[in-house]
Structure 1
Amino acid sequence: MKVESRIFEIITAFFFLCAIVYSVLTHEVVGMAGLFLTGGLSLIIGTYFRFVSRRLEERPEDNPEAEVSDGAGDVGFFSPGSYWPITLAGSAALVAISLAFFYVWSLVIAGVLLLISVGGLVFEYHLRPSDH
């Protein structure tokens, strides 16, 4: 996580520098506020990554002398044939369209479909505990 925090710290410095230069050159308030807020948001993310990186053990990405083979191994379990990502994408698109045209009735239906899709994706491989 140290690499990610360093990236966001560099982005933070870039946005604050751009905001200062922009405010000196243009005196335009909205763009200046947007650049300062963008720098602040990237500062929040970089600070979070820096805080989390102290509590985790070092990953191969954080070691400059690491080999490619150090990162080998299982990454996680990914479902080979799940339909839930498609339903999640479709319901999220329906939510976006409903918000764009502000159809409240469609937004309610899309919200329910989105919750069902998220629940289906999260609990796809959840097994009920045995009864003994």
Structure 2
Amino acid sequence: MRAVERIGLVVGVFAAVVCAIYWGWTGSTELGVEWVGVMTLLLASLLGFMLAWYTWMTRRRLETDPSDDPLGEVDEIQGEYGFFSPHSWQPLFLAGAASVCFLGLAVGWWLFIIGAVLGVPALIGWTFEYWKGQHAL
């Protein structure tokens, strides 16, 4: 966790310094400050600081993380990664509907509407698939 915390700090400081330089550089032109770039760099700086703050707060609450031990083994960080449905077809249907929606943005709104109509039942099915049937919770 310490490595991620340090990376967040480095990204935050770097983006803040570049933001200040960019603000001064574009402010010296006859067109004035280019605010889109300044705001983008400022938000990138805040994102880096947010990442560092979150990992710092998490590191304070948890025990020693195996990734912080230079002599630690990969096996020490094992644990539950989450719950995954090996039998579910709903993500495939949802991905197909999303593909049709994105294709509809290029082809026409009528195709986007068809993708949305196909996507709603797939999303509902994926959300509620463990409420009934063989794999109900």
TM-score in terms of structure 2 length: 0.62
Give the letter aligned to residue 13 of structure 1: V
CA distance in 2, matches of 1:108, 1:45: 39
Higher CA-based Rg: 2
Aligned counterpart for 1:86 among listed residues 68, 88, 92:
92
Aligned-residue offset at 1:76: 4.9
Alignment gaps of 5+ in structure 2: 28-32
Alignment gaps of 5+ in structure 1: none
Cα distance change, pair 6–105 in 1 and its aligned pair in 2 (3 A): same
CA distance in 1, matches of 2:123, 2:68: 33
Aligned counterpart, 1:11: 11
Aligned-residue offset at 1:40: 1.6
User: After superposition, what is the alpha-carbon deviation per residue over 1:51-88, rounded to whole angstroms, capped at 9, x for unaligned?
Assistant: 23322333322323312332356645544454333323
TM-score in terms of structure 1 length: 0.64
Cα distance change, pair 90–109 in 1 and its aligned pair in 2 (3 A): closer
Number of matched residues?
128
| RMSD between superposed Cα atoms in Å | 3.4
CA distance in 2, matches of 1:99, 1:5: 39
User: After superposition, what is the alpha-carbon deviation per residue over 1:75-113, rounded to whole angstroms, capped at 9, x for unaligned?
Assistant: 455444543333232233334444567738834852x54
Paired-residue identity, %: 33
Cα distance change, pair 67–92 in 1 and its aligned pair in 2 (3 A): same
User: Does residue 45 of the first structure (1) align with residue 51 of the second (2)?
Assistant: yes
CA distance in 2, matches of 1:58, 1:113: 47
Cα distance change, pair 98–75 in 1 and its aligned pair in 2 (3 A): same
